[in-house]
């Protein structure tokens, strides 16, 4: 039983560290999220080109 608690504590600690790392990472960049129809009836009017990337994805 003690071992299970220890494992749980280690796991929770790891999750906490990961969350902290992600948060820190997020602060290092400004991230913009673009969510639209990229595969169906509105794909032409906004679609991938709403982000206006080069044909090679840049």
Joined tokens for residue 9 = 């504590």
Nearest Cα to Cα of residue 57 among 43, 32, 48? 48
For 23, the 3-state DSSP assignment is: helix
Instruction: For the CB of residue 18, give the shortest distance to another protein in the complex, in Å.
Output: 10
Cβ(38)–Cβ(47) below 8 Å: yes
CB of 23 to another protein, least distance (A): 7
User: Segment 2-41, which members bind another protein (CB under 8 A)?
Assistant: 22-23, 25-41
| Interface pick for another protein out of 1, 3, 4, 44 (rule CB under 8 A) | 44
Residues that bind another protein (CB under 8 A): 22-23, 25-46, 48-55
């Amino acid at each position: 039983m003690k071992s299970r608690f220890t494992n749980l504590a280690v796991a929770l600690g790891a999750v906490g560290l990961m969350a902290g790392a992600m948060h820190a990472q997020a602060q290092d960049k400004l991230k913009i999220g673009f969510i639209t129809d990229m595969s169906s009836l509105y794909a032409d009017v906004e679609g991938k080109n709403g982000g206006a990337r080069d044909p090679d994805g840049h």
